[in-house]
């Protein structure tokens, strides 16, 4: 599905979120940077926006690995790479989030932005992220969530009736965005994801609800 929409993915993101997705990713980068990681894995990197934002937000030269199992999405990321002045330390690699091609304890930090919802097995993905982190390392999960009660009628109206129409025009692929709406509505609450992170082994799990809870930024640590 992502291979079908790869070429229009960035445009659709900007349009459908009204540009707020850039701010959500900035909040993610700020949290990662506060931990001063020596290297970062950005899983489900897609067209690479988080990897590029990490390159800007972390000290120059910090190695960043952008990983995804969808080659056309990685192709979109690589197309943008020459435009990024500080991108030489970003490596884009193919890899499955359910079976990461990385050794144990390989990274200080891992990010997954709008990716966990798309994993066929969330628990497996979270345990894989836990495995590849060094002791003391941190994981950051940015994902759609269930918004505050007062916002739900407006938000679900937008999700069910407006977003699929706009997406169909922009990407020519209505079914991909029908999937998006369904997967967002079925996704657990911020507390549910926090519990899943704890079950996967993460400690000191924190949650920041953004934009009325439409999106949540979860952080967790691998014990020392
Ligand atoms: C909605 S995009 C998110 C892209 C990017 N992180 C962002 O913030 O815009 C979800 C990505 O997850 C990837 N993905 C889904 N399942 C995966 C898996 N098992 N392993 C690796 N990537 C996966 C898809 O290929 C897609 O690029």
User: What mean pLDDT, rounded, does the chain reach?
Assistant: 93
Residues with CB under 6 A from ligand 1: 2, 44-46, 49-50, 68-70, 73, 96-98, 113-115, 118-119
Instruction: CATH number of the domain at 34, please.
Output: 3.40.50.150
How many domains, the chain? 1
- Of 11-20, 64-73, 131-140, 141-150, the poorest mean pLDDT is in 11-20
When pLDDT is cut at 50, 70 and 90, the band that residue 72 belongs to is very high
Ligand 1 geometric centre to CA of 126 (Å): 14
Lowest mean pLDDT among 1-15, 87-101, 104-118: 1-15
Higher pLDDT, residue 178 or 153? 153
Half-sphere exposure in the Cβ direction for 128 (13 Å, CA): 21
Select from 56, 3, 7, 16 the least CA-distant residue to 159. Answer: 16
Nearest ligand 1 atom, CA 9 = 9
Measured in Å, residue 204 CA sits from the centre of ligand 1 at: 25
Q: Is 154 inside any structural domain?
A: no
Q: Which residue has the higher pLDDT, 104 or 163?
A: 104
Nearest to 220 by CA among 146, 130, 145, 132: 130
Judge whether residue 128 has pLDDT over 90: yes
* Nearest alpha carbon, ligand 1 atom 23: 44
Question: Residue 44: how many CA atoms within 13 Å on its side-chain side?
Answer: 22
- Has residue 88 got a pLDDT over 70? no
Residue 151 covered by a domain: no
> Domain for residue 83, yes or no?
yes
Ligand 1 centre to CA of 181 (Å) is 16
102 located within any domain: yes
The per-residue pLDDT for 100 is: 98
pLDDT for 171: 79
Q: Which residue has the tokens 């993460």?
A: 202
State mean pLDDT over 146-163. Answer: 92
Within a domain: 106? yes
SS (H, E, C) the chain: CHHHHHHHHHHHHHHHHCCHHHHHHHHHHHHHHCCCCCCEEEECCCCCHHHHHHHHHCCCCCCEEEEECCHHHHHHHHHHHHHCCCCCCEEEEECECCECCCCCCCEEEEEEECCHHHCCCHHHHHHHHHHHEEEEEEEEEEEECCCCHHHHHHHHHHHHHHHHHHHHHHHCCHHHHHHHHHHHHHCCCHHHHHHHHHHCCCEEEEEEEEHHHCEEEEEEECCC
99 burial via Cβ count (<10 Å: 0-12, 13-18, 19+): exposed
Q: Is pLDDT above 90 for 18?
A: no
Decide if 42 is inside a domain. yes
Q: Is the pLDDT of residue 85 over 70?
A: no
Q: How confident is the model at residue 12 (pLDDT cuts 50, 70, 90)?
A: confident
The answer to the question of residue 182 being in a domain is no
pTM over 0.75? The answer is: yes
Q: Quick one: what percent of the chain has pLDDT higher than 70?
A: 98
Q: In angstroms, what is the span from residue 218 Cα to ligand 1's centroid?
A: 17
Q: How confident is the model at residue 86 (pLDDT cuts 50, 70, 90)?
A: low
At 54 the pLDDT is 96
- Is residue 156 pLDDT above 80, yes or no? yes
Q: Residue 151, Cα to own-chain centre: how many angstroms?
A: 23
Cβ neighbors of 75 (< 8 A, separation 6 or more) are 6
In a domain, 174, yes or no: no
Percent of the chain whose predicted confidence (pLDDT) is above 90: 75
Give the residue whose CA is nearest to atom 11 of ligand 1: 44
Ligand 1 atom nearest 46 alpha carbon: 27
Which structural domain range is residue 10 located in? 2-146+189-221
């Amino acid at each position: 599905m992502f291979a079908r929409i790869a070429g229009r993915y960035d445009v659709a993101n900007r349009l459908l979120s009204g540009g707020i997705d850039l701010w959500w990713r900035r909040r993610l980068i700020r949290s990662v940077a506060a931990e001063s990681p020596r290297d970062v894995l950005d899983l489900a990197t897609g067209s690479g926006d988080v990897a590029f934002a990490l390159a800007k937000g972390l000290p120059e030269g910090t190695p960043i690995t952008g990983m995804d199992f969808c080659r056309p999405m990685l192709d979109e990321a690589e197309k943008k790479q020459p435009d990024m002045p500080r991108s030489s330390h970003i490596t884009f690699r193919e890899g499955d989030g359910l079976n990461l091609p990385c050794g144990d304890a390989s990274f200080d930090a891992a990010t997954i932005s709008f990716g966990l919802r798309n994993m066929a097995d969330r628990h497996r993905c979270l345990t894989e992220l836990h495995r590849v982190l060094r002791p003391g390392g941190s994981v950051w999960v940015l994902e759609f969530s269930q918004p505050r009660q007062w916002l739900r009628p407006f938000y679900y109206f937008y999700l069910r009736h407006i977003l699929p129409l706009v997406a169909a025009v922009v990407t020519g692929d209505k079914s991909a965005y029908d999937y998006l709406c369904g997967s967002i509505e079925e996704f657990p609450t911020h507390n549910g994801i926090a519990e899943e992170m704890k079950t996967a082994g993460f400690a000191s799990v924190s949650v920041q609800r953004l934009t009325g809870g439409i999106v949540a930024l979860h952080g967790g640590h691998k014990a020392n």
